[in-house]
């Protein structure tokens, strides 16, 4: 398998898994003998710490794709609870953030990007909400396809990365809490046996707390921020209006002088 660690994969998939996997690697840290890394105890401890961090990074990279699976499964469930994806809700005439006139203007702008899109009317949305949502989802797909990447829409890309990170981390919340508890228990046993590993217990507790703080409401707020930023990009996608060309004033054609007038002018 070939891993393509672009910016989105690194921040939205690898980092959430690193938060989850790091306590598990820390749990093994107290039980790794420093002598196995170097004869000098201090050098061995340093190499052991570096090896632990590298191991956590490699483990997170290998497990980054399952992280997306956890996230998308959670996303589907949350969207059903929320009444649809926030980007789809934003395009509905009944969405509270825009009035109907503003919604119609936004629809018209998106339709200019792809004339094949069907834009539901207010009556169509009221008569068939599910069918209207399918049209809105198609409009969102067109926008996402034309705004993807950090080059032309960096702020929108950052919002999308932040959403992906929060979604995948929330999808792995039970696993993250479990690994944090394993790390804390391992550290507590090592402390009881006389090892100085308080930093390990503190790091595992911080990781578990961070996983718990990242809840569904925070994810929804981030999804709504992304949706607003996505629709703000519509004006940039539309072709710039052409400036009207200035018309030069018409000039009357010059009359060619008659032969007699030419002779008088030249004195012949």
Q: Kindly report, residue by residue over 232-253, the tens digit of the pLDDT.
A: 999 999 886 665 555 555 555 5
Contact 171, 71 (CB under 8 A): yes
pLDDT tens for 61-105 read 666 678 888 999 999 999 999 999 999 999 999 999 999 999 999
Q: In Å, what is the CA distance from 114 to each residue of 108, 139, 157, 206, 235? A: 10, 9, 22, 48, 14
Q: Rounded to an integer, what distance in angstroms lies between the CA atom of residue 188 and that of residue 174?
A: 21
Q: Among 16-25, 208-217, 244-253, whose mean pLDDT is lowest?
A: 244-253
Average pLDDT over residues 32-57: 55
CA angle 31, 34, 36 (to 5 degrees): 100
> What pLDDT shows up at residue 197?
79
Q: What pTM was computed for the model?
A: 0.78
Burial bucket for residue 192 (CB in 10 Å: 0-12, 13-18, 19+)? exposed
Which of the four pLDDT bands, split at 50, 70 and 90, describes residue 9? confident
Token pair for 44: 């061995």
């Amino acid at each position: 398998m070939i891993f393509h660690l672009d910016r989105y994969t690194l921040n939205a998939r690898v980092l959430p898994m690193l938060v989850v996997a790091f306590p598990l690697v820390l749990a093994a840290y107290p039980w790794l003998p420093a002598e196995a890394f170097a004869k000098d105890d201090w050098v061995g401890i340093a190499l052991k710490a570096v090896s632990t961090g590298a191991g956590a990074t490699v483990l997170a990279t290998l497990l980054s794709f399952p992280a997306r699976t956890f996230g998308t499964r959670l996303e589907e469930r949350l969207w059903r609870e929320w009444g649809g994806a926030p980007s789809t809700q934003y395009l509905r005439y009944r969405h509270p953030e825009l009035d109907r006139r503003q919604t119609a203007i936004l629809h018209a702008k998106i339709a200019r990007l792809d004339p094949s899109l069907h834009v539901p009317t207010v009556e169509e949305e009221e008569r068939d909400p599910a069918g209207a949502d399918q049209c809105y989802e198609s409009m969102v797909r067109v926008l996402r396809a034309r705004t993807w990447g950090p080059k032309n829409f960096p702020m929108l890309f950052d919002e999308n990365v932040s959403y992906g990170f929060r979604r995948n981390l929330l999808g792995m919340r039970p696993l993250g809490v479990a690994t944090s508890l394993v790390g804390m228990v391992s550290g507590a046993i090592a402390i009881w046996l006389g090892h100085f590993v308080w930093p390990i217990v503190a790091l595992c507790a911080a990781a578990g707390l961070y996983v718990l703080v990242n809840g569904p409401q925070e994810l929804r707020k981030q999804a709504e921020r992304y949706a607003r930023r996505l629709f703000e990009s519509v004006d940039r996608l539309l072709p710039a209006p052409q400036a009207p060309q200035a018309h030069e004033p018409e000039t009357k054609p010059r009359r060619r002088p008659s032969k007699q007038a030419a002779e008088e002018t030249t004195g012949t």
